[in-house]
Amino acid sequence: MQKIKLIISILVAFLLFGFIGSNSVIADLQDPGERDQIGTNQTNPFGIPDLTVLDQNIFLPLIFNNFCKSPYDSPFSVQIAGLSDLTTTALMTKLTRAEIDQLKEEQIKELDEIFSTLVTYLADSGAGWARVYIDWAQIEQNKGIHNWAWYDEKLSLVSSTGVKMIATIANPPAWAAVNPNGTGEIGTNDACSNVISDNSDYYNFISELVGRYKTAPYNIHVWEILNEPDAMPGYRCGGGLVTYGRNGTGYGELANGAAQLIKSLDPSAKIIMGGLAYDWFYGVGEAPDGKFYRYFIDDFAAEGNGVNSIDAWNFHFFKDFAPEWERWTIGNLPTCGPVSDGIGLTYSTYGTGVIAKGSHLINRMKTCYGIDKPLWISEVGHHGTTEETIPVDQNPENYDLNNQARYVFKVYAQALSLGTENVTWYALKIVRSVTTNDYQGLLDDNNNPKPAYYAYQTLTNELDGYGFVRTINIGSGNEAYEFTNPCEGTKIIAWYNTVDENANSNMTISGKTNIQLVYRPGPEGGVVNQSITDGGSGDLDGLINNSISIRLTLEPVIINLNP
């Protein structure tokens, strides 16, 4: 009898997956002749392909005794607080490393006071993961003497929520760094450098760290090797970054030894490279005030051993720097070697925002070095505040609370379209004394949820168990991304790229007589749903014709095709 049940379950699995995976539901969306575009007429200047289909593994759901489990792990991660940063004022006044460490102790006390609140919001956010910053300098201020108490308590609290952790092993103590107290500017001989002077010191720390936290109650199995290691010497030493800059080869040697050690201690461990800033570049022809080295990842790839030991690429993306990557989608293609010399092999890029950056990195590594790895993105973010006096960046509209909330839907849809396995929002909470000019937290200064927190909560709830399928072209100015859960059906995230709240564009969904639209909640929470039937009041064509037409605006919408 059990054997018969098993056979039936397998047959049902194949039938269900075949039905849900069908493209017939939205086939008309691929045909420009079937689209009805209204509103402003915009062309797409960024070269988004008509249909981008990434290579996908085919997963079957687990179905047995009427139970179905999706094969897709949660890609949703959030960093609890921005502990990798220090007060800008402190850096500008050139505090000594000892003074910086003292300041950090004071900031950690501030975090202590709100940590239990943050853990509660983490649990309610729907995130499957939390990125936690492991400050080597805090734990081992003096060589060989470890103070684990703070991390034992905090990591245990995080683990109690049921989320898994990504542990970033960063910030060497002064005694382990090459020149932590240098005062020279970037590019000078006396620039501060916290490059690890003896890799064995890092390995000794890792051995203690992984041995302690790989088991219950912590159960950490994903490790990130340093934070933004492409920083140039002279920039934020002691402030959470590690300044390997033009020494990508040295980072490769460090990462190789670290990865082999961790996997010997925990064969189930996943090792991701330190999240690259991969922006704001320093050097001739780059930004005058640049802080990061463009070709760090090339040097790392060329070293060979380190890149072969890690399990995933990893970079950070912030909207301020999007023009650097979008420019390659409308002009000359980038080349291997110097990116714009026009001499080496060319490679393609596409899309806007995080897609433009991700396609650049992925295709550069494939084309120039023959390396193909999964992608993680351990920091994305967007400012949101009601303050009138705010710092100026390249995108002042970033600071609007509604735009921050909309961006949650947008950046995750775009990032996941790259095949990204995990995306971390930076951050759940910004500790004001740590980063005074940062408004990217999902919580405000009084620890109350912003609209972006409710958007994040809605997104994780709606896409739990869903995997990216494809990008759909539905006309200039629109973006649409399809996701499937083999147990539940298909959903699409779509919006119209405009800053005009009155502008709109139509999207037609064929082969459906009933859909559900899910929008982000308002300022007080509460999901906004709208059910639409073919020919009903929400169907813009007003006809019973086995298709439903809806209006897209700047407000992203999740379209449930199987309500």
pLDDT score, position 59: 53
Does the residue 19 lie in any domain?
A: no
pLDDT score, position 55: 41
Q: Where are the beta strands (DSSP E) in 118-247?
A: 129-135, 164-170, 177-179, 193-196, 222-225
- Which residues on adjacent β-strands are paired with residue 273? 225
Q: Are residues 87 and 187 in the same domain?
A: yes
Please identify, among 407, 432, 464, the residue that sits at the C-terminal boundary of a domain. Answer: 464
Residue ranges of the alpha helices (H) in 214-271?
Answer: 248-265
- Residue 233 CA from chain centroid, whole number: 26
Q: Which two tokens stand for residue 81?
A: 């607080």
What are the angstrom distances between the C-alpha of 51 and each of 69, 465, 475? 29, 24, 11
Does the residue 442 lie in any domain?
A: yes
Q: Angle formed by the axes of helices 248-265 and 296-303, to 10°?
A: 60
pLDDT score, position 1: 47
Does the residue 7 lie in any domain?
A: no
Q: Are residues 168 and 292 in the same domain?
A: yes
Q: Are residues 392 and 480 in the same domain?
A: no
pLDDT score, position 66: 66
pLDDT score, position 162: 98
Burial (Cβ within 10 Å: 0-12, 13-18, ≥19) of residue 419: middle
Counting Cα atoms < 13 Å in the Cβ hemisphere of 524 gives 0
Q: Are residues 217 and 247 in the same domain?
A: yes
Q: In what order do the strands lie in the sheet with 164-170?
A: 270-273, 222-225, 164-170, 129-135, 76-81, 422-429, 375-381, 313-318
Q: Are residues 98 and 85 in the same domain?
A: yes
Does the residue 336 lie in any domain?
A: yes
Q: Are residues 199 and 89 in the same domain?
A: yes
Does the residue 333 lie in any domain?
A: yes
Does the residue 69 lie in any domain?
A: no
CA 114, 120, 123, 126 torsion-angle sign: negative
Number of domains in the chain: 2
Domain that holds residue 496: 24-60+469-560
pLDDT score, position 96: 66
Q: Are residues 412 and 512 in the same domain?
A: no
Does the residue 268 lie in any domain?
A: yes
Alpha carbon distance 361, 518 (integer Å): 33
CATH number of the domain that residue 477 is part of: 2.60.40
Does the residue 65 lie in any domain?
A: no
- Helix (H) / strand (E) element for 19: namely helix 2-20
Alpha carbon distance 64, 406 (integer Å): 38
Q: Are residues 426 and 444 in the same domain?
A: yes
Please identify, among 409, 440, 464, the residue that sits at the C-terminal boundary of a domain. Answer: 464
Q: Are 447 and 427 in contact (CB under 8 A)?
A: no
Rounded to a whole number of angstroms, the distance between the first and last alpha carbons of the chain is 34
Please identify, among 429, 464, 499, the residue that sits at the C-terminal boundary of a domain. Answer: 464
Q: Are residues 417 and 483 in the same domain?
A: no
Residue 521, SS3 per DSSP: coil
Q: Are 423 and 75 in contact (CB under 8 A)?
A: yes
pLDDT score, position 18: 42
Q: Which residue has the tokens 């990032």?
A: 415
Instruction: Count, in order, helices (H) and strands (E) of the chain.
Output: 13, 21
pLDDT score, position 61: 62
Alpha carbon distance 178, 193 (integer Å): 6
Q: Are residues 34 and 174 in the same domain?
A: no
pLDDT tens-place string over residues 357-370? 999 999 999 999 99
Average pLDDT for runs of 10 along the chain of length 563: 45 42 36 30 32 42 71 97 49 56 73 92 98 94 96 96 97 95 92 97 99 98 98 90 97 99 99 98 94 98 98 97 94 94 95 98 98 98 81 63 96 99 97 79 96 98 98 94 98 96 95 97 87 97 97 98 94
Q: Are residues 459 and 476 in the same domain?
A: no
Q: Are residues 234 and 261 in the same domain?
A: yes
CATH number of the domain that residue 150 is part of: 3.20.20.80
Q: What is the pTM of this model?
A: 0.88
